Amino acid sequence: MEHNIQTCKTLLYKVLSNTAVAVQLTIVLQAAGELTLPEWTQTVYPEKMKHLAGVSLMLFTYTDVLKRLRGGECVM
């Protein structure tokens, strides 16, 4: 039972982290393309999104193994 709970927590974390990164990337690209951003983004972009990106990167690179696995995305 404990293994299943941990597996669900890990999966939920991955989904939420990837979703947060995807939303941030979408907003950054829209801003770079000088497109009008949705009104709701005014409360979260750019400062809160920068913090979220930093936390996400920190979690994705917490150990040496994770650093090696995720390094390709950061080097781009």
Identify the pLDDT of residue 39: 92
Into how many domains does the chain fold?
Answer: 1
Q: What tokens were used for 5?
A: 């709970």
Cβ contact 37:45 at 8 Å: yes
Tokens 């983004």 locate to 41
What pTM was computed for the model? 0.56
Rounded Cα distance between 53 and 75, Å, is: 16
Identify the pLDDT of residue 35: 92
Q: Find the mean pLDDT for residues 66-71.
A: 74
Range of the structural domain that residue 47 is part of? 2-75
